[in-house]
Amino acid sequence: MLRKEEKNMGNIEIKTREEKKQREKAYYEEAPQIGGRRPSRIRQQINRGMTVFVIVAACILFYFALLRLGHISDVIFKIIDVLKPVLYGCIIAYLLNPIVKRVDAFLIPKLQERMKKPENAEKVSRSVGIFVSLIILIVLITVLLNMLIPELYSSIRNMVLTLPKQVNDALDKINSIQLEDSTTVAILKNALEEGTTMLTNWLRTDLMTQVNSLMSNLTVGIFNVISEVFNMLIGVIVSVYILYSKEIFARQCKKAVYALFRADRANMVLHITTKSNEIFGGFVIGKILDSAIIGLLCFIGLTILNMPYTMLVSVIVGVTNVIPFFGPYIGAIPSTLLILLANPIKGIYFLIFILLLQQLDGNFIGPKILGNSTGLSSFWVIFSILLGGGLFGFLGMLLGVPTFAVIYYIIELIIDGRLHRKNLPESSDYYDEYSFVDDTGKYVISRETMEKKHKEKCEKEKSMKEKGE
């Protein structure tokens, strides 16, 4: 009898520990079901009326917004321009946050053993983490500038000095080629003559008239660069305050969400926010690291192969690699043309090298660093890049994939929630050619799907047994 009671007490303790472990994880991190409870009929009618009113009001506001679109955009851009230091600070803090978290995870347990108050340990650790992250940032920027600027200056200078001669040599080689097809020769000569004439006219007339505007644009450009550097310096200071008080900001935002929304909707908002942070953090930081590795490997490979414009091409390849899918091709095309003009044989070698490097990145380096951080298929990746690039340019191509991944996840939550309410399966595997939902709302599974699921279940059980053994 005593043994039985002791056993029951032990089970209660285990259960309590498991419950405590579950409570330590945020409630909203698990994906909630959308549309779990239905409101009353009166509430439904009120909601429908309010929905109609909101739609009509939104349409009217949208119409007047279109009439004043120019003024609205000017105001928005003005606000963004004023808040640039804060935006830069948020971006810098977001990029440095992983380093601060690593330092906190390492230092806080050790400091708590030596300090009486846990709060002091957290403050000291946070200060050390921010200092370390800023030092790493400054060191990286300094090293990159010292490495890149002299090499880039030398490469660009040599390109400017040698490019006209290389173009003329290429034209002379084309002119010297004797082809059997006289029509092709005539077309090539006419194209060369017209191109030469247009270039000469542009140098004599248009270039000289545009020198003043170019100089004024250059002055404005220098002023803009200085202004952006100043904003970034202020952004670094802002990032320190954000990193030091990030828990306070998070708590304030969480409190506001629970105050503004119903409990289930607030949890939904917090869950989507957590998921968005996971997607953006994994993708952006991973992509930057992946591009830095590719740029370094490209520099090493080009140095070994003794290629011209080594640093310039490596920077182009590394920077454009940040863009998913299309980035390698965007960087490879101008780089190949530059090297082809200098040395056609080396241009071909470079093309082979860059193809091998991109295969290495696509099959090994990229998957290891990024994994499946977005959860999107190849089609949706291409779709999001084209849409983001078409709307917002380079920034849209970079952030289009994680942004669309968040939208895709939200749509998936809505669809799964509605299917759950209808007692229908949520996985897409169940909706094959032969499976269907009858008029009563009952799901009818096909024999093919049933056999497939049974096979998957057997394989899973087999693998679990093998792991257990």
Query: What pLDDT digit, counting tens, does each position of 165-176 carry?
Result: 666 666 666 566
CA 69 from centre of chain: 29
How much is the pLDDT for 7? Answer: 46
Every domain of the chain and the residues it spans: 40-77, 83-147+190-244
Rounded Cα distance, 333 and 22, in Å: 52
The b/e string for 152-168 (b: 16+ C-beta within 10 A; e otherwise) is: eeebeeebeeeeeebee
How much is the pLDDT for 238? Answer: 92
> For the chain (length 469 residues), average pLDDT per consecutive 10?
46 49 61 61 73 82 71 77 89 89 87 80 88 90 77 66 64 57 60 63 56 57 79 91 90 92 88 88 84 88 85 83 79 80 80 86 76 74 83 80 88 87 81 78 76 73 66
Q: What angle do CA 377, 380, 386 make, to 5 degrees?
A: 140
Neighbours of 399 (CB within 10 A): 16
User: Which are the contacts of 241, defined by CB distance < 8 A and separation ≥ 6?
Assistant: 89
Dmax of the chain from CA atoms? 108
DSSP labels, 147-180: HHHHHHHHHHHHHHHHHHHHHHHHHHHHHH---S
Report whether 49 contacts 435 (CB < 8 A): no
Report whether 408 contacts 376 (CB < 8 A): yes
Rounded Cα distance, 321 and 21, in Å: 41
How much is the pLDDT for 122? Answer: 85
How much is the pLDDT for 6? Answer: 46
Rounded Cα distance, 280 and 287, in Å: 10
Residue 20 to residues 8, 15, 23, 25, 34, Cα–Cα distance (Å): 18, 9, 5, 9, 26
How much is the pLDDT for 253? Answer: 92
Report whether 371 contacts 285 (CB < 8 A): no
pTM: 0.69
